Amino acid sequence: MGYVGQEPVMFHASIKDNLLFANPYASEEEVEDALRAANAWDFVRKMEKGVDTMVGGSGGSLSGGQK
């Protein structure tokens, strides 16, 4: 039996920093590619600070769909 949580884990950091926890050596291009693969690039690039937007504790500043 496995467990798949419905709430993604996000840290009180920027969108980019949250992605860099998975690969601290990722390039800017790789960060963008990861966001594109997650279908998140379009809304992230429209945010005032883009990938540098702080997500708050557990992603509190993002909607459920954005997480």
pLDDT reported for residue 20? 96
User: Does residue 54 belong to any structural domain of this protein?
Assistant: yes
Q: How confident is the model over 11-22, as pLDDT tens digits?
A: 788 989 989 989
User: Does residue 53 belong to any structural domain of this protein?
Assistant: yes
pLDDT reported for residue 64? 57
Residue 10 has pLDDT above 90, yes or no: no
Q: How many helices (H) and strands (E) does the chain have?
A: 3, 0
Closest by CA to 13, choosing from 45, 66, 53, is 53
Q: How many domains does the chain have?
A: 1
User: Does residue 51 belong to any structural domain of this protein?
Assistant: yes
User: Does residue 26 belong to any structural domain of this protein?
Assistant: yes
> Taking the model in full, what pTM does it have?
0.74
Which domain covers residue 49, as residue numbers?
15-58
CA dist 35 and 2 (Å) reads 26
User: Does residue 65 belong to any structural domain of this protein?
Assistant: no
Closest by CA to 55, choosing from 13, 27, 16, 8, is 13
User: Does residue 47 belong to any structural domain of this protein?
Assistant: yes
- Residue given tokens 């963008």 in the structure block: 32
Beta bridge partners of 54: 14
| 5 vs 28 pLDDT, higher one | 28
pLDDT reported for residue 12? 81
